[in-house]
Amino acid sequence: MTDYDPELFSALVPMFHEELLTALSAHLSDYRYQHCLRVEKQAMRIAQEIGADVTRAGIAGLLHDYAKERTDEAFRVMITAQHLDAELLNYGNAIWHGVVGRYFVEQELGIHDAAILQAIGRHTVGDPHMTTLDKIVFVADYVEPGRHFPGVEAAREALANSLDQAVAVELQQTISHLVERHVKIYPTTFATYNELGTN
**H or E stretch including 187?**
helix 187-196
Measured from the CB atom, the residue of 93 and 165 that comes closer to Fe ion is: 93
Stretch that binds Fe ion, among 14-22, 80-88, 106-114, 136-144 (CB under 5 A): 136-144
| Alpha helix (H) residue ranges in 66-162 | 72-81, 93-99, 101-109, 114-122, 132-143, 152-161
Counting residues that bind Fe ion (by CB under 5 A) gives 2
Distance CA 52, CA 130 (A): 14
Stretch that binds Fe ion, among 15-23, 81-89, 139-147, 186-194 (CB under 5 A): 139-147
Measured from the CB atom, the residue of 8 and 41 that comes closer to Fe ion is: 41
Stretch that binds Fe ion, among 134-142, 146-154, 162-170, 180-188 (CB under 5 A): 134-142
CB of 44 to Fe ion, least distance (A): 15
Return the ∠ at Cα 9 (arms to 6 and 10), rounded to 5°. 90
Distance CA 10, CA 187 (A): 36
Among 40, 53, 65, 170, binds Fe ion (CB under 5 A): 65
Among 40, 127, 134, 141, binds Fe ion (CB under 5 A): 141
Measured from the CB atom, the residue of 127 and 141 that comes closer to Fe ion is: 141
Measured from the CB atom, the residue of 38 and 168 that comes closer to Fe ion is: 38
Per CB under 5 A, 53 contacts Fe ion = no
Distance CA 104, CA 110 (A): 9
8 Å CB contact between 167 and 199: no
What is the sign, positive or negative, of the torsion defined by CA atoms of 163, 31, 75, 103? Answer: negative
Which residue ranges make up the site for Fe ion (CB under 5 A)?
A: 65, 141
